[in-house]
Amino acid sequence: MAVPTPHDEPTGTAVPQVPADLAELLRAQLEEIADEVEEEVRSQVPEYEGPADGVHRRNLRAGVVTALTLFVDHIADARGGADAIAATYYELGRVVALEGRSLEALQSAVRIGGLHAWRLVGRTAEELGLDSPVVAALGELAFRTVHEVAEAAAAGYAEGQLRSANELERRRGRLLDLLLRDQPVSARAVQDLAHGARWPVPRRVAVVALAAAPDRRDEDRLLMGADALVDMESRPPRVLLPDPESSGRLGGRAFAVALRGRPAAIGPVVPLTEAAHSLRWAVRALGLMGRGVLPRQGVLRCADHLSTLLLHSDEPLLAQLRSRALAPLAAVPEGQRARLAETLLAWLLSGSNVPEAAARLHIHPQTVRYRLRQLEKLFGDALQDPGTRLDLTLALRTDAPPVIPDSPRQQNPENF
């Protein structure tokens, strides 16, 4: 463990001359002084208040006794004692950080305890009739000790914070992996990992899949908030958002800004133990965005495109449906197919209302009627069958060119 050397004082500062036997005199009063210092710290530093017989109290008592013992040892051997003090409080600062407690409270306890201990030691020195130069030297030693303790504690705290942040990130990564794996998730396992990761367990979640950004470093943090679980190393990168409906975080421009401009797909909001389902649909939607089936840019919510996602959940089967349902269109020249398919979909979506279909297409109703007569010749009475109408609607709603078998004329090379 690397313990920093105090740097605010000039090297080579003379060690105050304090009678060596004073250490033994003070050691005899150590328990009495510890009682008063402990009480002073508990009364002035709220974080150290607590039940008199609790663990917190015992830890405080041990810290006070250690500090006073080291101070007395410092009097007996000023140079050697300084090393022991620095090492002890460096470790204490590190532990405080790892436990998620405040450095400010520790530093306040050091200052308050040090000042009160000095008053008590000064009183003892006066009772012993020590000369004023010795008392002054003792005071210098006391305040130098407080300075060294504070510096060592701050350095240890900084290291502990770094380790704590790394450990917390590692635990949250394990939690995210658990939540997004394909196998069923145990609620007890989630609770245990979430506790260690300091993550409040939500009722419902949504998973966001992010588009790849080769010009952006993976370590760039998204502005998603401390409660989001983020994995920028996976492909695609993913983010788990707790309670997205109650927080309102999925709506508006603010969410796009939080994603730093990356195109993204937000999976459906699901119970926590079903987070893997939200991820699966978010990844599928992201793939459809890349192919142009769904809008490519911005933030897309799976909840707004469920029918498209459902249709594309089994694409070979979808191709079979489209090929079969749209087969009659193979009988017309290729240039007419797209117009007839567009008109047929508008008519189906309009509930067979010709004026409404014409308004959807921005064409004259008479043009729609003309095309419908062509479609009736191709499909016959099947256009009135509810099952056929459903198949046609699904086949035409896939946002891709119709898969239509080639006509006999096109299949014969001699006809070119």
Q: Are the beta carbons of 146 and 110 closer than 8 angstroms?
A: yes
Both 337 and 291 in a single domain? no
Rounded Cα distance between 83 and 100, Å, is 26
For the chain, 416 residues long, give each residue's pLDDT as a single digit of tens: 444 444 344 344 444 566 667 777 778 878 888 888 888 887 887 777 665 556 666 667 777 777 777 777 777 765 555 666 677 778 878 777 777 777 787 778 778 877 877 777 777 777 777 777 777 877 787 777 788 788 888 888 877 766 666 777 888 888 898 899 888 877 888 888 888 778 888 989 999 999 876 555 544 556 666 688 888 888 899 999 998 877 666 655 667 677 777 889 999 999 998 999 999 999 999 999 988 888 888 888 998 888 888 888 888 888 888 888 899 998 888 888 889 999 999 999 898 899 999 999 999 999 999 999 999 999 998 999 999 898 888 888 765 444 444 443 333 322 21
Both 38 and 96 in a single domain? yes
Strand duo 264-266 + 270-271: pairing: unpaired
CATH of the domain at 84: 1.10.490
Pick from 246, 180, 247: nearest CA to 209: 180
- What is the pLDDT, as a whole number, of residue 278? 94
Pick from 50, 55, 39, 182: nearest CA to 113: 39
Q: Are the beta carbons of 233 and 218 closer than 8 angstroms?
A: yes
Six-digit token pair at 357?
Answer: 């279909």
Pick from 286, 206, 223: nearest CA to 260: 223
pTM: 0.53
Both 378 and 267 in a single domain? no
Task: Find the domain containing 253 and state its range.
Answer: 202-311
Both 283 and 376 in a single domain? no
Both 327 and 228 in a single domain? no
- What is the pLDDT, as a whole number, of residue 250? 63
Both 115 and 232 in a single domain? no
Six-digit token pair at 195?
Answer: 């506790």
90 burial class (0-12, 13-18, 19+ CB within 10 angstroms)? buried
Alpha-carbon torsion (99, 100, 104, 105), positive or negative: negative
- What is the pLDDT, as a whole number, of residue 218? 47
Both 141 and 53 in a single domain? yes
Phi/psi class of residue 261: alpha, beta or left (left: φ > 0; alpha: ψ in -120 to 50)?
left
Domain end (from 255, 279, 311): 311
CB atoms within 10 A of CB 209: 28
Domain end (from 166, 182, 216): 166
- What is the pLDDT, as a whole number, of residue 281? 94
Q: Residue 316 falls within a domain, yes or no?
A: no
Q: Residue 196 falls within a domain, yes or no?
A: no
How far does Cα 117 stand from its chain's mean position? 45
The structural domain count of the chain equals 3
Both 365 and 341 in a single domain? yes
Write the CB contacts of 107 (distance below 8 Å, at least 6 apart in sequence). 150, 153, 154
Q: Residue 142 falls within a domain, yes or no?
A: yes
Alpha-carbon torsion (88, 93, 98, 100), positive or negative: positive
- What is the pLDDT, as a whole number, of residue 266? 92
Q: Residue 129 falls within a domain, yes or no?
A: yes
Both 32 and 154 in a single domain? yes
Rounded Cα distance between 320 and 242, Å, is 39
Both 53 and 109 in a single domain? yes
Both 338 and 238 in a single domain? no
Rounded Cα distance between 278 and 133, Å, is 75
- What is the pLDDT, as a whole number, of residue 375? 92
Both 130 and 212 in a single domain? no
